[in-house]
Amino acid sequence: MSAPAAHHYTTTGLDSRKIAIWAFIGSECMLFVSLISTYLIYKGRSIVGPFPHEEWISPTGEHFHPILNIPVTSASTFVLLMSSLAMVLALAAVQNKNVPKRTTSERILGSSKLWLWMTAILGMTFLGFQAFEFTSFVHEGLTIRTNLFGSSFFTLTGFHGAHVTAGVIWLLTLLAIDYHRGLGPADALNVDIAALYWHFVDVVWIAIFTLVYLIK
Partner 1 sequence: MAHEPAHSDTAAAPAVGAHLSGEQHHHPGWSTYWKVATILTLITVVEVWAYYIPSFVASRAFVPLLLTMSAIKFATVVMFYMHLKYDHKLFRALFTGPLFVAAVTLIALLFLFGQLAARFGPGR
Q: Give the footprint of partner 1 on this chain (CB under 8 A).
A: 4, 7, 9, 12-15, 18-19, 22-23, 25-27, 29-30, 33-34, 36-37, 40-41, 43, 70, 74, 77-78, 81-82, 84-85, 87-89, 92, 95-96, 99-100, 102-103, 105-106, 109, 185-186, 188-189, 192, 195-196, 199-200, 202-203, 206-207, 209-211, 214-216
Which long-range contacts link 14-21 to residues 24+ away (Cβ below 8 Å)?
Answer: 15/189, 17/189, 17/193, 18/189, 18/192, 18/193, 21/193, 21/196, 21/197
Looking at this protein, which amino acid is placed at residue 9? Y
Whole-angstrom CA distances from 84 to 80, 98, 124, 172, 192 are 7, 23, 13, 15, 12
Q: How far is CA 187 from the centre of its chain?
A: 22
CA 148, CA 108: separation in Å to the nearest integer?
Answer: 48
25 contact partners, CB below 8 Å, separation of at least 6 = 196, 197, 200
**Residue 134 or 209 having the CB closest to partner 1:** 209
Q: How far is the CB of 74 from partner 1 (least distance, A)?
A: 5
168 or 193, CB closer to partner 1? 193
Rank residues 23 and 166 by Cβ distance to partner 1 and give the closer one: 23
Which residue's CB is nearer to partner 1, number 27 or number 60? 27
Task: Check: CB of residue 174 under 8 Å from CB of residue 190.
Answer: yes
Q: How far is the CB of 60 from partner 1 (least distance, A)?
A: 30
By the 8 A CB rule, do 148 and 42 touch? yes
Q: Which is nearer to partner 1, 57 or 75 (CB)?
A: 75
Least distance from partner 1 to the Cβ atom of residue 211, Å: 8
